[in-house]
Structure formats: C-alpha cells, structure tokens
A and B are shown apart, each in its own frame.
Chain A
Amino acid sequence: MEMLVASAIGILTGAGVYLVLRRRTLTVVVGLTLLSYGVNLFLFAMGRLTIDRPPVLTDGGAPYSDPLPQALVLTAIVISFGMTALVVVLALRGFLDTGTDDSAIREADMVRGFGPRHLGTEARKD
C-alpha cells in the first residue's frame, strides 16, 4: 500500500513538473495544480497511512489516524485553491490583453508608466 501511495505521489509530481515546463500559461497552471495534488498527498502521507480510523473522537475509537497532517493538508488545499484561481485569471487576462497565452514576455510588452502621478486618466476611482 505504501508503495502505491508513494508512487502515486511520484506520478502526480512528475506529470506536474512536465506540464509546468510547457510554454503556454494554462498548461502551466494545470501543471501547478497537479503538483499541488502531489504535494498535498505527500503532506498527508507524512501522517502515515491508516484505514478506517478517522480522527473523529468516538468512545473506544482509538487509535486514530494522525489528525495534524490532515489539518495541514486542508490548509494547503485551500491556499492552493486561492493561488490557482488567481493564476488562472491572471493567465486569462494576460491572453485577453496581449492576444497570446505564451508565458514568455515579448519586448513589445515591456511597456509601463512611471511617476507618482500620471498624466492622463488618473481620476479613475478604485
């Protein structure tokens, strides 16, 4: 069983790494998602594997599986959810603005404004 879980972690991580190394933003995002699956599983596995011992206290339910990694993974899942959501939208917006979803930056994109108070439409309220 341990072998199965360990190799599953390996598979997820490997697939994630490969996709992260693609050029297109969306593919990279998916790669990061797979990576997060892999690492969440890893983190979870750090509490070792137990079957049918959920850490929900019942009379004579002991021993229980290690609840701490589960809590950590839960936090990690939530955080990576937030991150993924943000990055997806970032990729989307980048595509909408530049017409390409290539993750590399083109010279033509390297344009920005300077100065604390810009000439022009600074009146826009946030």
Chain B
Amino acid sequence: MVNHWIIVPVVLPALTAVLLLFLPRESVVSRRVVSVASVLALAGISVALWGMAQQGPQAYAVGDWPAPFGIVVVLDRLSALMLLAASAIALAAVLYAIIGWDRRGAHFHTLFHFQLLGINGAFLTGDIFNLFVFFEVLLIASYGLVLHGGGAWRLKSGFQYAAVNLIASTIFLFAVGLLYGITGTLNMADLAVRVAALPAQDHALLRVGALLLFVVFAVKCALVPFHWWLPSAYSAGAAPATALFAVLTKVGAYAIIRMHTLVFAGDAAGISGTLQDLLVPAAAVTLVAGAIGVLGSRSMLQLASYSTVASMGTLLLAAAGLGAEQISAALYYLLHSCLIGAALFLLVDLVAAGRGRVADRLLPEAPVPQALMLGGLFFLCGMAMVGMPPLSGFVGKVAILDGLRGTDDAVLAWAVILGTGVLLLVGFVRAGSTVFWKAGSAVSRSDTARPAARRAGLVVAALVAGTAVLSALGGAVLEATDATAAELLDRELYIRAVAPAASSPES
C-alpha cells in the first residue's frame, strides 16, 4: 500500500497556486480563503506526516520507478520536522499577508504557494538533482516575493539577490554533475553507498564536489562570506515574504545536515572532518558578524536581518560537529530561529508602519502608536533573539552549549556564543530604548489603532507565544529532535528504506 500523503506537501501547494490563477482578478476574498485554507490543510498534513515519520524513514517512488533509477521522495523525522516548521511559519505569514500586504502587487498568494512547494519539495526529495530543481522553484518564487510591493529598492536588491543565487545555482550544477560523473548516480541513498565504495583515486574530485555543494548551501544559509545577499534582500522584501524567508535560510542548513549525515557521512574521503574544519570558524565569524551588524544597525530592518545572520551562525556552530547531541540542539534552535525570525520581521513592519516618515530607522523622532503592545512584543522578541530566559532562545543556547561540551572547539564556540550574547543584548536594548522610550509613547493614532493593526499584532504575538511553548514543552521538543538526530546518524535506516537493494558500482 503506497502512502500518497508523502507527496501531498508538494502537490497541494502546486494545485492551490494554479487554482488561484484561475480565480477572477477581482475576487480578493476568494483568493484569501483558498490560500489560507490550503496552508491550514498543509499544516494539518505536516502534523500527520510527523506522526507517520515515527515508524522510521519511508520512500515514495515517484512514477513507480525503483530507486535509484527514478526519483524518490523520502519522509523521515528530519523532513517531517522541517515540513512542520515551514507550514507553521507559512500560516503566520499568510495570515499577516491577508491583512493587506497581498493586495500590493500581483500574484502574491500564487507565488507564496509556489514558494511553499519549492521548500517542501526540497525537504522531501531523496534525489540530488531533484533537490536542485526544487531549489530553483523556491528561489524563483522568492524572487517574485522579494519584488512584491515594487519600488526601486526592491528592483535593485531583487536583482542582486537573483544574481547571487544564480551564481550559486551554477555551482550547484557543477557539483551535481561532478558527483554523477564519478559515481554515476543521483539518488542520495545510492550516492551514499557508492561514495563509501569509491576508489581512493576519485577522492580528490569527490571532495571538490562535496565542497562545491557546501558552498551552495552556505549561500542559502547566509554563512559568511556568502551572506551578502541576506541583509539587502530581507530589508527590501515585503514583510510576509521575509517572514516566510525565515524558513528559506533553514533550507540551506537542512541540506548541509542531510548531505553530511547521509551522503558524505562516516568521514568518507575525510569530508566530515574538512566540513568541521571549515564550518566551525565560518559559523563563528558569521555569528560575530551578525552580532556586530545588530550592534551597528541603523534601522530595525538591519537589526532583524543581522540577528537572522547571527542565529544562523549559532545554528551552524552547533551543527558542525555532526554528533547526535549537536544536531539535536541545532534542530531545536532551528525551530526557535524560524519562529522568532518571522516574528521579528513582522513586528518591525508593524512598528515602522506607525512611525510615518521615520519608518524603521533607529531615530527617536516619531513616537510609536500602541507603544505598550508593540514595545512589549519587541521586548519579548529581543529576549528570545538574545537568548534570555525563559523563552526558547535560552533553552536552545543551553542545549547547544551542552552539546558542544567536550568537543575540540568547545572553548571557541562557548566564548563566541556567550560573548556575542552581550553584543546582541546591547544592540537590542539600544534599538528598543531609542524607538519605544526615547521617542516617547504617543496615544494610539486612529489609522494604526484599526482592527487591522490589532490582528497583525495578534499574528506576531502568536509567533512569540510559539517560542514560549517551545521552551515550556522543551522536554518533549528535545525528545523529538533527539530521535531525529539519532535516526540521521543511523543512515542505514534511510538507505534501506529508499533502495532495499541499493545498486553498488559492481552491479
């Protein structure tokens, strides 16, 4: 009996997006209903899939062709977890969008669902070239979303964003080609088998392929020195789009974890070691760069963007070790980072909207309407971002520091994570007190006191509440991530699920 649910996270958004194209241009309401309903359904399905993933990895052979010859879609705990995160953030983003952003340009919901399709496809696929295809889908959709709302800034930064990612895509193709050229396969599980059996004389090429792939994913997760696109694109992008982008950076992190626990696991050709040697310093620098950016930010958008960079640094610093504890902690932090990143970008949008011409700049000029609500939310977001208890940022950091305990890089990692904590703290405090205190809180102005603003506030509040839940139920969540990490490190499970008789070079 084939479990068709596995492919639904890809099919559903595709059909939704198309259906939206058929809806008459005028009927804004019907679009919103369809869009939200679809995301809700997706969220439900993701929950169900997480449940199914508990029986271990299971493969879905698209086109009914046996692996490794056809393309397989694989559901395991990791992909299910990522789907959950994606759909949760998507729900918040779409709910925020229907308050008004979606009417400020063509095809918002269509692009939104195509983006989801790309993200989900990337999380689910078990084929490396297919991964490339879905990367392209989510990228081109994200170009559209970055441009949503128009204006010179979005056009220019959109071009830069696209150009950088096209370079990355080219590198991706080089890498995929190289891997096929030496292993003769594209299926990840099969790759894992063949890579392990690869003769030493091919190791140099294999390493090149692996590192080129790493570059591609590093660009996605804004690892220094590949991070350039993020601040610019995230600052220009429309709020609901950037909220969804909180997941986009995680796709890169996901891909790194997947590749290096499956295909290049077991230090094949010394790749795991090399990865750690590269990733630890790079992630540390990323974290520092993010913290510096936060401290030196001139606008709330910069603050949000660079804190995203910083959180990616933290995440990758944790993941670099590829040990069970580290991966588990990294995954927990990933969930936290998704929630808080989205929340922060939406919040900034709300605050800036109320400040008229000053917009999001960190100047004490325009008072913030509803300063108590927005200020409170900003306070909480800041706490979570900086890693102040009791929100999930703190739990995540404890888990990460715990996980790094005793590794070779423990001292460096601890020093960087805790040291940057101070920078982040000061940065957020400065920003907050400038915007919410120095400017003085004004009486709510009619235009922002509207129910629209209140609903928008609720969405942000929900995301913040999410981080609270994440830490309140921290035990359960960490159990889940522990199980996920354990499953990843036993890659035989995955390989057996995909290709019961994985073709080896001899066959």
Contacts and interface: CB of A to CB of B under 8 A. Distances in A.
B380 interface: no
B158 A90 contact: yes
Nearest to A97: B152
A24 B319 CA distance: 39
Nearest to A17: B167
A21 to B, nearest CB: 11
B170 interface: yes
A43 B108 CA distance: 34
A20 B156 contact: no
A87 B162 contact: yes
Interface in B477-507: none
Interface size on A, as a range, is 35 or more
Interface in A93-126: 93-94, 97-98, 103-105, 109-119, 122-126
B93 to A, nearest CB: 11
A49 interface: no
Contact of B103 (A25, A42, A94, A126): A126
Contacts of B133: 75, 79
Contacts of B235: 110
Nearest to B354: A115
A116 B163 contact: no
Interface stretch (B74-82, B175-183, B252-260, B308-316): B175-183
Contacts of A40: 173
Interface in B85-104: 96-97, 99-101, 103-104
Which residue of B97, B107, B108, B155 has the most chain A CB atoms within 10 A of its CB atom?
Answer: B155
B236 A116 contact: no
B179 to A, nearest CB: 9
B149 to A, nearest CB: 7
B456 interface: yes
Given A115-B353, A116-B239, A116-B453, A103 B154 contact: no
Given A46-B181, A79-B136, A116-B350, A25 B170 contact: no
Interface in B122-158: 129, 133, 136, 140, 143, 147, 149, 151-158
A35 B167 CA distance: 8
B159 interface: yes
A109 B160 CA distance: 14
Say whether chain B's binding surface is mostly helix, strand, loop, or mixed.
helix
B177 A43 contact: yes
Say whether chain A's binding surface is mostly helix, strand, loop, or mixed.
helix
B167 A20 contact: yes
B226 to A, nearest CB: 15
Interface string A29-59: 0001001101110110110000000000000
A103 to B, nearest CB: 6
A20 B353 contact: no
Contacts of A105: 153, 156-157, 160, 232
A36 B129 CA distance: 16
B10 to A, nearest CB: 17
Contacts of B166: 32, 35, 83, 87
Interface string A52-77: 00000000000000001100100110
B149 A113 contact: yes
A58 B162 CA distance: 43
A111 to B, nearest CB: 6
Contact of B353 (A43, A79, A87, A114): A114
B140 A112 contact: no
Interface in A1-44: 20, 25, 28, 32, 35-36, 38-40, 42-43
A88 B72 CA distance: 34
Contacts of B453: 116
A69 B180 contact: yes
B352 interface: yes
B160 A103 contact: yes
A42 B177 CA distance: 7
B446 to A, nearest CB: 11
Contacts of A114: 239, 348-350, 352-353, 359-360
Interface string B175-209: 01110110000100000000000000000000000
A116 B323 CA distance: 42
A60 to B, nearest CB: 24
Interface in B320-361: 348-350, 352-354, 359-360
A83 B236 CA distance: 20
B106 interface: yes
Contacts of A113: 104, 149, 151
A91 B143 CA distance: 13
A28 B163 contact: yes
Given A72-B176, A94-B152, A125-B25, 7 more contacts: A39-B170, A39-B174, A97-B155, A105-B153, A114-B239, A124-B103, A126-B25
Pick the 4 closest A-B CB pairs, nearest first.
A115-B353, A117-B100, A114-B352, A46-B181
23 contacts: A20-B163, A32-B163, A39-B177, A42-B174, A68-B180, A76-B173, A86-B143, A87-B159, A90-B162, A103-B160, A110-B235, A112-B151, A112-B153, A112-B359, A113-B104, A113-B149, A114-B353, A115-B352, A116-B453, A117-B450, A125-B25, A125-B28, A126-B107
Interface of A: 20, 25, 28, 32, 35-36, 38-40, 42-43, 45-46, 68-69, 72, 75-76, 79-80, 82-83, 86-87, 90-91, 93-94, 97-98, 103-105, 109-119, 122-126
